[in-house]
Structure 1
Amino acid sequence: MPSISVIIPAYNAEKTILETINSVIKQTFSDFEIIVVNDGSTDKTLEILQNIKDDRLKIFSYENGGASSARNRGIAYATGDYISFLDADDLWTPDKLELQLAALQAHPEAGVAYSWTYVINGEGELLRTIEHNYEDKVYGEMLLKSFVTCGSNPLIRREAIESVGGFDVTLKSGDDWDYWLRLAYKWHFVVVPKHQIFYRRSATSKSFKLKIIRECSITVLDRAIKLAPLELQHLKNHSLSNIYRYNVQLYLDSLNLNPKVDIKYVLGNWWNSIRYKPDTLKDIETYKLLIKILLTGIMSPKLMSSLLEAFRRTKQTKNLLIQS
């Protein structure tokens, strides 16, 4: 039996699924199986999968049930001692599995290994990088935000998976965060301090359904805070602030894709991020967000998106110069 089971839920992923699977096949650690759950695709996803020649690939097709349902079905088929999930439009660097497995083997008390992340757009262009170094008992940090970032990141021991059960299929969004919280409540985490995940935000990503992701995140937080010990209960308002602030950032990331979003809704999120954590008024980024929001009210979505893209590229250039 393979050491690692890689579970890929795929729904109408014809544009990205081949590149995603190739990023697994090219891993430096090769003792794995790839379990693709074709979640009712109506495009050429299944045809593309059937043309991939690799004995480690296993394909299972079902009627559409959503990503959480597909992941749960993949878990049922998995035979590895470790399990990793990969969304059908995300990518891994070649050493992802090797380094995460080494981290778990070096820390037998840990149930989850995660890495740093590149956030990319639908065209594969870098939007930002995300680096967190939380380790050991991380329930408090996980209450504040889903620092693992996306469902394509962690490598998880089978025992940890079995201890928390499957993903919550009733959640329309925030199901990843809910799952990481349940794992963090019972298990230690270990970090691989290297960017190994390419997390794609595209026009079809549920990350852009602003109201759904906000409301589901609040639901997940309300559920998780009830399990938190008394010394962590005070984190609820800080976490709420993060949820509203994240919703603003999603709006700015998707401006050219969702130009009809009510600016009053976005300003309301910005204000709530301050209301629940007044200390954010000391953060210059808070005012930068406000300026960007206000500019979206007077500029066309296309022009504003181009302006934000110019700011992003300038920032990247400065960071590269600093690193060199």
Structure 2
Amino acid sequence: MPVISIVVPAYNSERTILETIASVRQQTFADFELIVINDGSTDRTLDLLKTIEDDRLKVFSYSNGGVSMARNRGICKSKGEFIAFLDADDLWADDKLELQLAALKEHPSAGLAYSWTYNISEEGKLLYPLEPTFNGAVYADLLLWNFLSNGSNPLIRKQAIESVGEFRPPSTTADWDYWLRIAANWDFVLVSKHHVFYRHLSNSMSTKIDMMKEEILTTLERAFESAPLKFQHLKQQSLANTYQYYAEVYLRNINTSDRPSEIDRVISNLWQGIFLFPVSVLSKYTQSMIAKTLLIKILSLENFNLLINLIKRLKNLQSSR
């Protein structure tokens, strides 16, 4: 029996699937099975998978059911003591499984090990890192924000997965919902290394962002419905964090064609977050968002981007001294 089962949901992933699978096959820990759930792909995904010669690879094809269904199908096929999920457009550092497995063995009370993430562009360019520091009983911290960031991050004990059951739709928030259900009963352990490279795809239309935000707000409502009374005071802060995060998302996706309405979305979400949790206005993050919003109202989009890039270069220059 393999020690680790890796579940990769794949839907029309011809552009990235081979690179993703290569990052798995390059792992320093090799005792795994690689389960790819072909989720009704209509492109060359299945043909490309057939070119891979590796006895650890198992491909199962189904009609399209979405990411949550694909992960659940992969869990049912898994035989390992530990399970990892990897989206078909993300990548792993080569010692990801080795170090996460060692962390779980060192901490028997932990049901899930996670690592730091580096966000990358569609072309694979490094964008920005996420480096949370939470260990142990993280349920309260996870109610405030999804510090795991993505579905390709954790390695999970099979017992922890069996204790919470299946992923639930909608797919855009299924990760956070699942980590919360595990955190309610299990400790988490952090591996302080950038192991996950989470790819941002160019499908971030405002209407899609609106839908994702509403799904997250619905997931949070459900999470707090089941949260113990002692955690209910965190709800306003959690909702505020979500609104302010989406203010940043809208800000990153502003374009010249629809600039006025997109700026309005930034302002609306930013102030909704401040209204829900007023003390957030004292944080550097919120103050930075306010400053950026004011600047983009005053400057053209081109001049705003020039200013931001200049600030980044100056910071990099200063840090290199």
What is the TM-score when the length of structure 1 is the normalising length?
0.91
Asked if structure 2 preserves the Cα contact closer than 8 Å seen for 1:137 and 1:188, the reply is yes
Q: Which residue of 1 aligns with 2:289?
A: 289
- CA-CA distance at 1:64 after TM superposition: 1.4
- Residue 223 of structure 1 aligns to which amino acid in structure 2? R
Task: Output one character per residue of 1:21-72: Cα deviation in whole Å (capped at 9) or x when no partner.
Answer: 1111000000001111111112211111111111111111112111111111
Structure 2 distance, partners of 1:54, 1:210, is 38
Q: Which residue of 2 aligns with 1:224?
A: 223
- CA-CA distance at 1:236 after TM superposition: 0.3
What are structure 2's unaligned runs of at least 5 residues? none
Structure 2 distance, partners of 1:256, 1:101, is 43
- Residue 226 of structure 2 aligns to which amino acid in structure 1? L
Q: Which residue of 2 aligns with 1:101?
A: 101
Identify the range of structure 1 (257-266 vs 32-41) with the bigger mean alpha-carbon deviation.
257-266
Identify the range of structure 1 (195-204 vs 151-160) with the bigger mean alpha-carbon deviation.
195-204
Q: Which residue of 1 aligns with 2:23?
A: 23
Change (3 A) 1:63 1:318: farther
Asked if structure 2 preserves the Cα contact closer than 8 Å seen for 1:173 and 1:206, the reply is no
Asked if structure 1 preserves the Cα contact closer than 8 Å seen for 2:9 and 2:37, the reply is yes
- CA-CA distance at 1:168 after TM superposition: 0.5
- Residue 193 of structure 2 aligns to which amino acid in structure 1? K
Change (3 A) 1:206 1:137: farther
Q: Which residue of 2 aligns with 1:233?
A: 232
Pair 1:176-2:165 in alignment: no
Q: Runs ≥4 in structure 1, deviation > 6 angstroms?
A: 205-208
Q: Which residue of 2 aligns with 1:200?
A: 199
Structure 2 distance, partners of 1:158, 1:83, is 6
Asked if structure 2 preserves the Cα contact closer than 8 Å seen for 1:259 and 1:301, the reply is no
Change (3 A) 1:280 1:159: same
Structure 1 distance, partners of 2:271, 2:189, is 35
- CA-CA distance at 1:284 after TM superposition: 3.3
- CA-CA distance at 1:293 after TM superposition: 3.1
- CA-CA distance at 1:253 after TM superposition: 3.2
Structure 1 distance, partners of 2:4, 2:129, is 27
Helix, strand or coil at the partner of 1:174 = helix
Change (3 A) 1:67 1:43: same
Structure 1 segment 1-324 matched on structure 2, within 5 A? 1-169=1-169, 171-204=170-203, 209-255=208-254, 262-297=262-297, 308=308, 311-312=311-312, 314-316=314-316, 318-319=318-319, 321=320
Helix, strand or coil at the partner of 1:262 = helix
Helix, strand or coil at the partner of 2:119 = strand
Instruction: Give percent identity, aligned residues only.
Output: 51
What is the TM-score when the length of structure 2 is the normalising length?
0.92
Helix, strand or coil at the partner of 1:186 = coil
Identify the range of structure 1 (70-79 vs 255-264) with the bigger mean alpha-carbon deviation.
255-264
- CA-CA distance at 1:312 after TM superposition: 4.6
Identify the range of structure 1 (204-213 vs 160-169) with the bigger mean alpha-carbon deviation.
204-213
Structure 1 distance, partners of 2:6, 2:275, is 41
What are structure 1's unaligned runs of at least 5 residues? none
Change (3 A) 1:161 1:238: same
Residue-pair matches, total: 320
Change (3 A) 1:159 1:306: farther
Asked if structure 2 preserves the Cα contact closer than 8 Å seen for 1:2 and 1:32, the reply is yes
- CA-CA distance at 1:242 after TM superposition: 0.6
- Residue 4 of structure 2 aligns to which amino acid in structure 1? I
Structure 2 distance, partners of 1:100, 1:120, is 21
Asked if structure 1 preserves the Cα contact closer than 8 Å seen for 2:247 and 2:270, the reply is yes
Structure 1 distance, partners of 2:59, 2:201, is 25
Asked if structure 2 preserves the Cα contact closer than 8 Å seen for 1:207 and 1:213, the reply is no
- Residue 20 of structure 2 aligns to which amino acid in structure 1? T
Asked if structure 1 preserves the Cα contact closer than 8 Å seen for 2:251 and 2:263, the reply is no
Helix, strand or coil at the partner of 2:37 = strand
Helix, strand or coil at the partner of 1:213 = helix
- Residue 87 of structure 2 aligns to which amino acid in structure 1? D
- The CA RMSD over aligned residues, in Å, is 2.3
- Residue 50 of structure 1 aligns to which amino acid in structure 2? K
- CA-CA distance at 1:318 after TM superposition: 4.6
